[in-house]
Amino acid sequence: MTSGSPDLSMQHLVDDEIDLRQLWRTLMRNKWGIFGFAFVVTVLTTLVVFSMRPVYQATATLMFEGKKANVVSIEQVYGLDSSGSEYLLTQLEILKSRNIAEKVVTKLALQEHPEFNQEPAFSFNWRDMLPFSLPGNNTPKELSEQDKLNRFVEEFQSRLKINPVGKTLLVQISFQANSPQLAADVANAMGQTYIESNLDAKLEVTVQASTWLSERLEGIQAGKKAAEQELQNFLDTENLVGDEGGATIANKQLDLVANKLIEARGDRLELENLYRQIQGAKGSIAQYELVPGVLQDPTVQDYKRKLLEIELKSSELAKRYGPKHPTLIGVQSELNRVRSSLDKQILSVINGIKNDYLGARASENSLEGTMANSRVSIQDIQRKEFRRKELKQEVDAKTAIYDTFLQRFNETNATDDLNTGNARVVDPAVVPGDPVKPNKKLIILLAFMLSAMAGVGFSLLLAALNNTVQTAEDVENKLASSILGILPLLKITKKNPHPSYHEFLDDVQSSFAESVRTIRTGVVLSGLDNPHKIIAVTSTVPGEGKTSVALNMAFGLAQMEKVLLIGADMRRPSLAKALGLDASAPGLSNLVAGTSSLEDCIQHHASSNIDVITAGLIPPNPLELLSSNRFATVLETLGAKYDRILIDTAPTQAVSDALVLAPKVGAMIYVVKADSTSYLQAKAGLKRLREINAPLIGVVLNQVNTRKVSKYYGGDYGGYYDNYGYTAASQNAA
């Protein structure tokens, strides 16, 4: 049974799905380590937690007063609106300020309080651990009293919490301390100190404002009177009356002239069009007659209608009479008279249009002149009005300033409402009965959970970094090869360092013997039509148990066939020692070199009934010996005498002996040591064999810890041998 092609097998190496069962097995494999780590961390955490001093928290509730109907508007002196969110946020920051904290520290003499003067339980100075002294001054710098106070206030503020309550005017002041009484005292002192500080600030601002206002009021009053006098002098000089100094009348007059000018300009444009048409006629009555103004004249229209009637009458008479008939001559005379009257009327209309045009143009020019004069007059009035407004605004501004200062001066002198604060304590802090931290149960629980998670993560990391072949599934997925069988790990003792060499012969009912027979069955079934006469056994690196596999395969096949076992690993021969044979006897190297006969090189192992050819004398270059024609001839000779020949050859990654033997054998078995050999190395060895088309029939996974595999990889591996029918009961039945 040959292995599948590398291209088809590569698809088994890529699997993007998460195998939950494999993850679970990994966790179960390391569960005691995970639990032990979590237990140790939890115990240490418990010791630390129970050594901590309890921390108590007391909370006082402060309420900021909203906007009140005060006699004195002290909020305006501050420049803040006590009803806005900005005011509340400002007061919160003042409450959190270092100034308030320092006042509380001084008021309660906290620097002398025992809680803030405890010696640290453990002090570590890394300089003391050095075997030498560092250059420079190693003595700590002496702090000034102010620096000590600053550091103390910072530590004090770190224990303080000030939080607003929702969308209300309430603020909660909390303080944490080891002493419950101290926590309550500090929380209450914070609220009271803030109220007192606010009252002091109000009084200080009031005094400063009164002094400043009294000094400024006289100067502002004098400036106001000077501005009023300057305005009055300007009005008298320019003869301005009314609110806007005549600008309203001038603007109305300008609007009237502008409207008349627009009308005159429209008339002129209309007449100018007619005038240009008349000029284009060049004195021709026929062209004059086509001018729209002439055509629309009623008299011209009457003459043209009469002329048309006479022409029609003349045309009818001309059909009856000759040209000299008196009637026709009379009609013709009347026609000439009407024509002459029409021409005169056309000329009269033309002259009227010309006169109207000239009159319209003169009227437009006159109105434009009046418009220009009005603009000049208005501009002069506006310049005066601008100056008047400037003076008036200056008077108004100084008057407003004077009124404001006078009002503030009166307010700041009335100090009745300054005795009330802008906040009050609505819920004083009480001495707490239970500590708020440490939450021992939560900390211990979190320590256990986090350490367990860390252990799980470390276990999964180790599993991910493990690049060895551990199971039959790894052989198929990682090595893209078919599994030929699994050999269990045997217990090694000082008296029995290599139990796999004789386990098959000593205990035929053991699981190891069942495994060997399973592999034997696989080898036989892989060559039913063309039995594998010569079988080579190799591995990736030394120490994987290829000699043990070769031995036990020979033992198993010898129960049915005549078997020869050849030790072709001439660099590190171990076959003679494993079987207890004479290592100095002639072997394969002697047989190929022709220095010994075949009968001298073959040794018989009585307990297993197999013939053995050991490595013999170690040659200087085993590779040349194995690739020689004499070696091929020896294999042909031996193949005629034996049903099956097994060759124990060198590892593929160490030397190229297996590559040279591959074309000369009918099948190759590749041995991989479980949980030891890197799958990358084994994969590289298999690749080298596949590149030369070696007849690989499968992989034997050697030294598998079946109890561990069964426990941590599921029932598929625990019942591996039972699934194939190789149980003790089946053997007895056979």
Residue of 518, 488, 534 whose CA lies nearest to 635: 534
Residue found under tokens 């301005």: 240
Together in a domain, 182 and 39: yes
Which structure tokens are listed for 203?
């009084």
HSE toward the beta carbon, residue 458, CA cutoff 13 A: 13
Note the pLDDT of residue 517. Answer: 92
pLDDT tens profile 697-734: 999 999 988 776 665 555 444 444 443 433 333 333 32
**Of 208, 227, 262, which closes a domain?**
208
Together in a domain, 194 and 265: no
User: Is the pLDDT score of 215 beyond 50?
Assistant: yes
User: Is the pLDDT score of 248 beyond 60?
Assistant: yes
CATH number for the domain spanning 704: value is 3.40.50.300
User: Is the pLDDT score of 127 beyond 90?
Assistant: no
Complete edge-to-edge strand list for the sheet that includes strand 160-164 = 160-164, 170-177, 56-64, 423-427
Helices (H), 239-325: 247-281, 285-288, 292-295, 298-320
Note the pLDDT of residue 341. Answer: 74
Q: Give a yes or no: residue 333 inside a domain.
A: yes
Together in a domain, 180 and 283: no
Together in a domain, 41 and 155: yes
Residue-by-residue DSSP string for 570-601: -SS--HHHHHT--TTS--HHHHHHTSS-HHHH
Per the CB < 8 A criterion, the answer to whether 294 and 349 are in contact is yes
Note the pLDDT of residue 610. Answer: 93
Q: Give a yes or no: residue 217 inside a domain.
A: no
Q: What is the distance between the alpha carbons of residues 673 and 488, in angstroms, rounded to a whole number?
A: 10
pLDDT tens profile 637-696: 999 999 999 999 999 887 888 899 999 999 999 999 988 888 888 999 999 999 999 999
Together in a domain, 323 and 380: yes
Together in a domain, 267 and 204: no
Lowest mean pLDDT among 243-257, 425-439, 481-495, 606-620: 243-257
Q: Give a yes or no: residue 456 inside a domain.
A: no
Together in a domain, 412 and 474: no
Q: What is the distance between the alpha carbons of residues 14 and 684, in angstroms, rounded to a whole number?
A: 17
Per the CB < 8 A criterion, the answer to whether 460 and 80 are in contact is no
For the entire predicted model, the pTM comes to 0.49
Q: Give a yes or no: residue 332 inside a domain.
A: yes
Note the pLDDT of residue 4. Answer: 42
For residues 102-108, give the mean pLDDT: 87
Q: Give a yes or no: residue 704 inside a domain.
A: yes
Note the pLDDT of residue 400. Answer: 83
Q: What is the distance between the alpha carbons of residues 125 and 577, in angstroms, rounded to a whole number?
A: 64
Note the pLDDT of residue 717. Answer: 46
Together in a domain, 264 and 194: no
Note the pLDDT of residue 84. Answer: 63
**What percentage of the chain reaches a pLDDT higher than 90?**
15
- Write the burial class of residue 469 (CB in 10 Å: 0-12 exposed, 13-18 middle, 19+ buried): buried
**Strand 602-605 relative to strand 667-673, pairing:** unpaired
pLDDT tens profile 324-364: 777 777 777 777 777 777 777 777 777 777 777 777 778 77
Q: Give a yes or no: residue 13 inside a domain.
A: no
Q: What is the distance between the alpha carbons of residues 42 and 447, in angstroms, rounded to a whole number?
A: 6
Q: Give a yes or no: residue 626 inside a domain.
A: no
- Indicate the length of the chain as a whole number: 734
Lowest mean pLDDT among 74-83, 100-109, 268-277: 74-83
For residues 520-531, give the mean pLDDT: 87
How many domains does the chain divide into?
3
Nearest 5 degrees, angle CA 98-CA 103-CA 108?
130
Q: What is the distance between the alpha carbons of residues 10 and 219, in angstroms, rounded to a whole number?
A: 99
Res. 284 pLDDT band, cuts 50 70 90: low
Residue of 416, 289, 267, 423 whose CA lies nearest to 350: 289
How does 614-633 read in b/e, with b if 16+ C-beta sit within 10 Å?
bbbbebeebbebbbeeebee
How does 706-719 read in b/e, with b if 16+ C-beta sit within 10 Å?
beebbebbbeebbe
**Of 191, 208, 225, which closes a domain?**
208
Q: What is the distance between the alpha carbons of residues 658 and 646, in angstroms, rounded to a whole number?
A: 13
Q: What is the distance between the alpha carbons of residues 478 and 487, in angstroms, rounded to a whole number?
A: 19
Mean pLDDT score of the chain: 78
Contacts of 616 (CB under 8 A, 6+ apart): 570, 585, 586, 587, 588, 589, 590, 591, 596, 601
Domain hosting residue 506, numbered range:
469-563+640-733
Highest mean pLDDT among 270-279, 314-323, 368-377, 589-598: 589-598
Together in a domain, 32 and 101: yes
Which structure tokens are listed for 70?
């005060």
Q: Give a yes or no: residue 385 inside a domain.
A: yes
Together in a domain, 526 and 392: no
Note the pLDDT of residue 69. Answer: 40
For residues 167-194, give the mean pLDDT: 87
CATH number for the domain spanning 115: value is 3.30.1890
Together in a domain, 282 and 204: no
Rg (CA), the chain: 61
Together in a domain, 39 and 125: yes
